[in-house]
Amino acid sequence: MCEPKPAPGARDSGPRRLKPAQLLFEPPEAVADPEHFFDLESIEDPRELLARSTELALAFRAAADRATEFQAVAAAQLADPRRFDRLPTAVIAERAEWSEDYTKKMVEFGRDLLRGNRTVE
């Protein structure tokens, strides 16, 4: 399994676990309860609670990093001047709810990923 790469501007928090906790969708009735979060509220042992909540935090970070990489790739593809349906960075920024400066950085990051300087798998 390949480790996720950090998003642009992400802090280096040291080595990552190779296999973060699996993220599962919670049932709708659990999501409706504001006190319910991946069943953490039912864990009474603080050691177990720390371990599971840490696994979830790492999994969410890894998922966010991966999603950001895919955003960057999509932005780069949408901004590609070779595409007949190319979008200006202002339009991409609006769709992604980014600033135009951040969009330019994401397009460049995505181009790096597409060139193979970093990997999205």
What pLDDT score was predicted for residue 65?
94
Do 86 and 80 touch, CB atoms closer than 8 A? Answer: yes
What are the Cα distances from residue 82, in Å, to 78, 90, 112?
10, 18, 16
Cα radius of gyration (the chain): 18
**Domain ranges (residues) in the chain:** 45-115
The alpha-helical segments, DSSP class H, found in the chain are 28-32, 46-79, 89-96, 100-115
Coil vs helix vs strand at 58: helix
pLDDT in tens, 19-64: 555 556 555 555 566 677 888 888 899 999 999 999 999 999 999 9
pLDDT confidence of residue 36: 75
Instruction: Give 1-30 pLDDT, tens digit per residue.
Output: 344 455 554 444 444 444 555 556 555 555
Q: What is the pLDDT of residue 37?
A: 81
Cα gap 40→96, rounded to integer Å: 32
**Both structure tokens of 12:** 């280096």
pLDDT one-digit tens code per residue, 79-119: 999 999 999 999 999 999 999 999 999 999 999 999 987 65
Tokens of 28: 């709708």
